[in-house]
Amino acid sequence: MRQAIAQLMARSKREIPHYYLSNTVDMTAAMSWLHQRNRELAVSERLVPAALLLKAAAVAARQVPDLNGYWEGDHFVPAAAVHLGVPISLRGGGLLTPAIHDASDLPPGELMARLRDLVTRARAGRLRRAELTEATITVTNLGDQGVEAVFGVIYPPQVALVGIGKLTEKPVASHGLIGARPVVVTTLSADHRSSDGYTGARYLAALSDLLQRPEEL
Amino acid sequence: MTPEQARHAIEESLVQVAPDADLGSLGPDADLRDSLELDSLDFLNFIEALSERAGRRIEEDDYPHLATMASAIKFLADR
């Protein structure tokens, strides 16, 4: 497995001119919506913040389709649907990146159920081969490991990788007042052959906007 | 729940979520998530398993009480 990761990542850094952007997102609305929702549902149906962030990342990819698809030969081919690659670390080392199909169309609860299923099967060694090759964009979440921001390496032939950092409380100025708010640093690594920083910036702005209206996700 | 029953329920729930977890070397005040490398999904699975064993719903607001073995035992045994 190490060799497979090594080859793919070396190819990525050899072939893809990455550019990197980051944006700190206010998570006040998202967290209070989650908290309220989780209070009303069974424990087994609770959403973790990571699931809501994945959903928002998938919808943002639909809104900015220039980042969702593949670089083939010398041009970008957009994908018809958003299949979200989610790197899953295995206990004992290694990494698998299966895809959540049509992630932008799934209600958050369903996306959460798919995520739990993928994690369980990845760790049990029961993923289908096709599941590991179908992602159109990848979202890596290292927040649980305590990192503030992750600037990742794109999985070729994909053209973008979204990074989610740790959810923390930070002093944030809003309407001239400073208060403690939950924030998360979102990042984008994108392929400069297929998109420019302007497109990447639109993606991160869309992601942030979506997270201010969690009830619509 | 007695403290001993609480410890048993917590340990069984942890093993269910992280079968390779070495609970023997876990100190009473060690952070469970950090020590056992539980991500947010693992932790939710732990809460779900523990809720079932304890026969009571554990709210998100209760999560801080479940940070360590000692605090979790106290939390479950107190009620």
At A199-213, the pLDDT tens digits run 999 999 999 999 999
Q: Assign residue A199 the CATH number of its domain.
A: 3.30.559.10
Distance CA A60, CA B19 (A): 37
Q: The complex's ipTM? A: 0.84
The tally of domains found in chain A comes to: 1
| Cβ–Cβ gap B60/A43 under 8 Å | no
Q: Give the DSSP H/E element, type plus range, for residue B49.
A: helix B40-54
Distance CA A181, CA A159 (A): 32
The reported pLDDT for the residue numbered A105 is 97
Total Cβ atoms within 10 A of residue B61: 10
CA distance B3 to chain A (A): 23
B60–chain A Cβ distance below 8 A for any pair: yes
> What is the residue range of B54's domain?
3-77
> What is the residue range of A51's domain?
2-216
Residue of B nearest to A123 (CA): B18
CA B74 to chain centre: 11
B69–chain A Cβ distance below 8 A for any pair: no
**Letter string b/e over residues A98-137, b meaning 16 or more CB atoms within 10 A of that residue's CB:** bbbbbbbebebeebbbbbbebbebbbeeebeeebeeebbb
Pairing of strands A160-164, A69-72: unpaired
Distance CA B2, CA B21 (A): 24
Q: Read off the pTM.
A: 0.93
Q: Which residues of chain A have pLDDT under 70?
A: none
Pairing of strands A88-89, A95-96: antiparallel
At A87-127, the pLDDT tens digits run 998 877 889 999 999 999 999 999 999 999 999 999 888 99
The tally of domains found in chain B comes to: 1
Q: Assign residue B22 the CATH number of its domain.
A: 1.10.1200.10
